[in-house]
Each structure stands twice: as C-alpha cells, then as structure tokens.
Amino acid sequence: MDFGNYVAGRFAHQIGDPRAADFLLRAADQDPQSTVILSQAFLTLLTDGRFADAVAAAKRLHAQGSGNTLAVLYLALDALKFERYSQAQAYLEELSANGFEMLAVPITQAWVQAAQGHRDAALEALSPLEAIPALRPFGATHRAFLLDYLREDDAAQSAYLEALQGAQISSLQPVVSYAAFLQRLGRSDDAIAMLDEYLKAFRNNVFLLDARDRLVAGKPVTHLASTPAGAVSLVMFRAAGELGRDDAPRPAIIYARLASYLSPDMGDARLRLAAMLADADLYSAALSELRKINEDAPEFDAAQLQAAWIHQQSGDYEEAITVLLDYLSIHPENVRGWAALGDIHRSNEAYEKAVEAYQRAINLHTADSDVQAWFLHFTRGIGYERMGDFDKAEADLLKALELNPDQPQVLNYLGYSWIDRGLHLERGTEMIERAVELRPNDGFIIDSLGWAYYLRGDYEEAVRHLERAVLLEPSDPTLNDHLGDAYWKTGQRKDARFQWTHALAADPDEEARQLIIDKLEVGLELALTSQKDQMQADKHMGQQDVAKVEDGQAPKP
C-alpha cells in the first residue's frame, strides 16, 4: 500500500484542508480490506458536510461488517430523512443502546413507528427512557410531540403540560411546539399568553419571539417536531451541545452536521455548528454555514454578528469591522450590533473607536434591549481606562456597579483599578473579596485579590491567594509572574525563580518578558529599579525630542 494518500489525508484533516476526505478515500481504495481508513474517511466526510459521499462510505462500512455504529446510525437517519421507514427500522435494530445511542435509538425508533402509523409501538419505543432519570425529560417531550403528530389532541395536551411542568425541560422546543398545537386548536390567545410567561424567564429569546410574532400576525408557527426527521434532528442538536460542553469538538461537529442534515432550515444548529467549526480553526467552513441561514429566519441577525466574530477569530480584523458596519447600515438601531462593534474594536486595542461604538449602544438602549445596560457601561469603562481617562472609566464602572451591584467582573475590575492606583485600598480589596465569593473558582479574580494584598504590602496573604490562582490557571504568564514576585518578597527565592521561569515559558507580552528576564538575572528590586530608570530616561528623551521639533530639528530615530 502507498501510504502517501493516507498521510496526506490525516494531515489535511488536521489543518482543515477540504481535500482530506478525498485523500483518505483513495487510501481506502488502495487497501479495501481496511475498515479503519474508510472509517476515518467517513468521519471526515461528515465533518465536512459531504452527506451523499458519507452515505456511500457508510454503506461500504456496513457491507464490510465494520461494526461502526455511527455509520449504521447515519444510514438509519438517511432512510428516515427520505421516508424509507422500514429500512430505517432495520438499521436501528442493529444498534445496541449504549452511550449516546441510549437516547438517540429509542427516540428515532419511536418516530419511525409513528411515521408508519404504529401508535402503540411508537409510545412503547420511548419506554426505556423512563428507566433513566436524566433521560425522562426527553421521553416526556417526545411523547407530547408524537401524540401531537398523531393528532390525539386530548392526550397531546396532557403530555405537553406534563413535559412543560416537569422539573426541567430538555429545550425550549416543546414550548414553541405547544404554542403551535394551541394555534391548531384555534387557541392562539392562549398560546400568546403562554409564550409571554416564558419570555419573562427567557427575555428576548429570538426563538420564542418569532413564534409570538407569527401568532399575532396569524401565520402558522413553525416547529421542527411536526415531522419525524425534524423531531429526531432535535436529539442530534442536543447531543452536539452536550459534546461541545464536554470538550469533544470533532464529535460535536458531527452531531451538529447530523442535525442540519435532517433539518436544513434549523438555524440554531447552523449557528452552533459554525461556532464549533471556528473553534476548530475551520473558518471558511464556519462562514459557509452561516451563509445558509435564510434572511427571514429568526437566527439571521445572530448569524451576521457571529460572522463578524469568526472573521475576528481568524485574525481578519478589517473584514470583521466591514461585516458589522454593513449590518449596522441596514439595522442602525440594533444595540447588540453596536456593542459587538465596540467589543471587536476593544479586542484590537482600538479603544477610541470602541468607546464611540459603546456610546451608540448606550444611546439606543431601552428596557427591551437584548444587551444589559451594566455591560455597556462596563465595557465602555474598560475602553476609557485603557485610553488613560480614568475619571470617565471610574464613572462608567460605578454606573455598571449601580445597575448590577453583585457583578463579579465589575467588582474585580474597579477594585483592582483603584488599588493599582493607590486609591480606596480598603474598599477596593473588599470589592475583590466579594468578587471571589461570587466566583470562587475564577483564577483571574483570585489573582486580583492576591495582587491587591501584594500592593498593600501583605506578602504572606498575597502568596496564599496567588498560589490558589496559579492552581486554577497554571499556564497564564501574568499569574505565574505575580506569584514569583510574592515568593521573592517572602524570601522564597528559589520558588520565585521557578515561577518567573514558568511565566517566561508561557509567552508573555514583550514588555513583561523583558522584565521577567531582568528579575531572573538580578532579582526583583534591581529589575524594578532598572525598569523605572529606563522609563524616566525614555520620558526625558521624549521631552528632548519635543524640544527639538519645536526648534525645527528632527529627532534621531
């Protein structure tokens, strides 16, 4: 076998090259007895969204008896999508209920039975979910969906109420599906009232708002659970979310792909998929997914803002700004758009432009805005602080704290800013201590508290907090540097040098890097003295340069 195609395929897959699957398929053709290479090709095809090619690869794996359960599940979903229900059932019967299949298989089986008019078999297929407490909400939700689909209205109403009144619901989809159910029964007013109650808890949720707008306008409320494929796509979507939270990016991408395969118009699946692709550095593929979201979809606005962030994530600051400005030219009243523009400018240290964007957002903000007012004042305050205008920064940070008194980010930022400037030391420390109470496992906030004690000269207390901060965030250069300084002050010179060395290896910015090198060479006090002397020298040279310019002389480079 020529391993060139295999190696090229694996490397291309790692860097997001779209030719990866083709290389792997060629390698699989060269070694037709190997299901391992074909399995890798199949996963890559799914990751890339090449669904027809993935079906062909899955069929080959199935014919070879590879035991690839994902390939069998995909074949079942493909049969379900194209209404080949008996074929879908045959594939599902090959799968054992292990791992994620414990949820996916019973629900898919139930919908395959319902699609064939087998009411009792459909409900019976959901029964394994009752035995597992974590899966019961899913069983209750899909029982309501199934009864609604089968037009058993009285039973469906009871099932919806049971699902929605449970300790937890699996998503907001049953809320919208119940609204559509009530609309079908001619009870649109009841549906609107129900959605209004949920909007109190899920304020400005576009999914709920779109359903409400449709009810008010007399348009049919759309919901995915109205078809077997749509209902099963919700399970794939949920799996993608859980895998994403478990830091399993590639499997999460695959299940998000399966959700979008079953429901191509499922905008929130494409939003999630785009985010996952971007996190995997597959920026072009991520943007491609966002472009598939229709302009009339409730997720369209979010897709435009997400596209800007993906450009920013990829390092294309100018395109990120262009996307946002184009969007804001059409939606100039959108508070979230202006806030996002400020955030991206701030991320690129364009603080004056960031402050201008936040100002627009603050001017447009109302009680119904989907960005909280405290956050706008907080971020504008950061912009002012970075610009060196601490009076305005302090006013904004105090306003943010007035609007949200127990917001740990604000408490930490304002408290640290005061202490760093030698202001309100007692109150600033109390603020950071309160932030730590609210976020006891946030290493960066705990570092602020440790550094506050360091600046106040309480080095033993500083060490206690900074050690915990480094345990929580062991790879941050600033935290390691701070702990090194505190160790030095308490006489633990060997430990101090270890922390500084660790900070140096963690890629600090250039200014911090040079100071850490100096501390390692000459110790903390001499390094700080040298830094202070250099700053004074730079300031003196700057004054000389200004004088020369005023005299008509150009300063030397």
The DSSP-derived string for 224-269 is GGGSHHHHHHHHHHHHHHHHHHTT-HHHHHHHHHHHHHH-TT-HHH
Going by C-alpha positions, the residue among 319, 276, 270, 321 that lies closest to residue 298 is 270
User: Quick count: other Cβ atoms within 10 Å of Cβ 252?
Assistant: 24
Please give the helix or strand (H or E) that residue 194 lies within, else none. Answer: helix 188-201
Q: Which residue has the tokens 């040298």?
A: 530
Element (H, E) at 484: helix 477-489
Calpha distance 390→364 (Å, rounded): 24
Contacts of 274 by beta carbon, 8 Å cutoff, 6+ apart = 286, 287, 289, 290, 303, 306, 310
Q: Please, are residues 287 and 310 in contact by the beta-carbon 8 Å criterion? A: yes
Max CA pair span of the chain: 95
Sequence-ordered list of residues with C-beta below 8 angstroms from that of 42, at least 6 positions apart, any chain: 54, 57, 58, 61, 68, 70, 71
Q: Strand, helix or coil at 118?
A: coil
Show the tokens assigned to 307: 């596209």
Spell out the long-range contacts of 389-394 with Cβ–Cβ below 8 A and sequence spacing 24 or more. Answer: 390/417, 390/421, 393/417
Residue given tokens 């009871």 in the structure block: 158
Handedness of CA 321, 322, 323, 329 (dihedral sign): positive
In this structure, what token pair is assigned to residue 118? 């087998």
Q: 79: part of which helix (H) or strand (E)?
A: helix 69-81
The pTM of this model reads 0.81
> Are the C-beta atoms of 209 and 199 separated by less than 8 Å?
yes
- Positive or negative CA dihedral for 524, 527, 530, 536? negative
Per-residue model confidence as pLDDT tens for the chain (557 residues): 557 777 776 766 666 677 878 888 888 888 887 888 899 999 999 999 999 999 999 999 999 998 899 999 999 999 999 999 999 999 999 998 777 888 999 999 999 999 999 999 999 999 999 888 888 889 999 999 999 999 999 999 999 999 998 655 657 899 999 999 999 999 999 999 999 999 988 888 888 999 999 999 999 998 999 999 999 999 999 888 888 777 778 889 999 999 999 999 899 889 999 999 998 888 999 999 999 998 888 899 999 999 999 999 999 999 999 999 999 999 999 999 999 999 999 999 999 999 999 999 999 999 888 899 999 999 999 999 999 999 999 999 999 999 999 999 999 999 999 998 999 999 999 999 999 999 999 999 999 999 999 999 999 999 999 999 999 999 999 999 999 999 999 999 999 999 999 999 999 999 899 999 999 999 999 998 877 666 554 544 444 343 333 333 333 33
406 with 434: CB under 8 angstroms? yes
Residue 331 CA to residue 526 CA, distance in Å, equals 56
Contact assessment for residue 401 and residue 410, using Cβ atoms and an 8 Å cutoff:
yes
- Enumerate the H helices of 292-350 as residue ranges: 300-313, 317-330, 335-347
| Phi then psi dihedrals of residue 315, to 5 deg | 95, 5
Q: Would you state the structure tokens that stand for residue 380, as one six-digit string? A: 């504008």
- Nearest Cα to 361, choosing from 352, 346, 372, 350? 372
Could you tell me the two tokens for 447?
Answer: 């570092």
Six-digit token pair at 518?
Answer: 């100096």
For 135, the enclosing helix (H) or strand (E) is: none
Provide the token pair at 454: 């360091």
Contact 414, 393 (CB under 8 A): no
Instruction: Assess contact for 338 and 321: CB atoms under 8 A.
Output: no
Architecture of domain 3-167: Alpha Horseshoe (1.25)
User: For the chain, which residues make up each domain, given as ranges?
Assistant: 3-167
Burial grade of 222 (CB within 10 A; 0-12, 13-18, 19 or more): middle
Residue 531 three-state SS: helix
Which residues, including other chains, have CB under 8 Å from residue 498's CB and lie 6 or more apart?
484
Closest CA to 46 of 284, 262, 332: 262
Q: Which two tokens stand for residue 294?
A: 């229709």
Give the tokens for residue 164: 């929605």
Closest CA to 465 of 493, 494, 426, 435: 435
